[in-house]
Homo-oligomer: A and B are copies of this chain.
Amino acid sequence: MPTPPGRKPRKAAPARQPLSQDLIVDTAIRVLDAEGLEAATMRRVAQELGTGAASLYAHVSGKEELRELMLDRVAGEVRLPVPDPARWQEQLKELAMETHRVLTSHRDIAQVSIGLIPTGSNLLSVAEAQLALMRAGGVPPRIAALAVDTLGMFVDADAIEGTIYSARLNGGAEAMEKFIHYLGEIRDFFKALPADRYPNVVAMADELTETGGDARFEFGLDILIRGIASYVDAPEPS
């Protein structure tokens, strides 16, 4: 069939943007934010871009690399402090909370972070900022290096803990309600346990099933930073 007059011969149907690593990561994060990490598959991201999964492999080595690129893009949202040596403990806590906030604002992306040595430029900037704060505060290098790992692990773990249920459910405001309801069921379950085998679990059922909100995270953070600070001008651990 010849093209009828007045109709442009189609070149690229919907004038799609050409593929690029940035575009792929953008799209993957959109899917992540909307439906969680599990939904951000190669095939799904490709479909969102109007192509097939095979096309992504020209820009990304595979699923694992895409996930790491997503995490590093997200890490770019973390606002870094200007070190003030007098306030290093406070600033370290704030940075951990800011990182936690950014991670949890992107569903279960923290899943990618745990057990990953940071190599992306934004992830490295966060690590650099943590190290700078501790060095300014006089924390010995070996302790500071260990503390970066420990703090990162703690932030990741709590971020995962907080998103695992809401990520599994459909998300949205009703997810929170469902979680509260689930916690109530757990509390009743704990209270119904045999008191001779689990006396403390039964007795502390209420305390164990309090959402805590950010309090639990801050509690852990406080004792971690307290511990780090205890090595300032002190001998290293044997």
| A33 on interface, CB distance cutoff 8 Å | no
> Pick the contact of A230 from B193, B207, B226 — CB < 8 Å?
B226
Contact at B161–A115, with CB atoms within 8 Å? Answer: yes
Q: How many copies does the complex hold?
A: 2
Output the least CB separation between A122 and chain B (Å).
Answer: 11
- In the assembled complex, which residues on chain B have CB atoms less than 8 Å from the CB atom of A204? 131, 141, 144-145
Instruction: With A189-B119, A200-B132, A204-B141 as known contacts, state yes or no: A216 contacts B149, CB within 8 Å.
Output: yes
Among A119, A160, A200, A216, which residue has the most Cβ atoms of chain B within 10 A?
Answer: A200
The majority secondary structure among interface residues of chain A is: helix
* A residues in contact (CB < 8 Å) with B: 114-117, 119, 124-125, 127-128, 131-132, 135, 141-146, 148-150, 153-154, 156-158, 160-161, 164-165, 186, 189, 193, 197-201, 203-204, 207-208, 210, 212, 215-216, 219-220, 222-224, 226-228, 230, 237
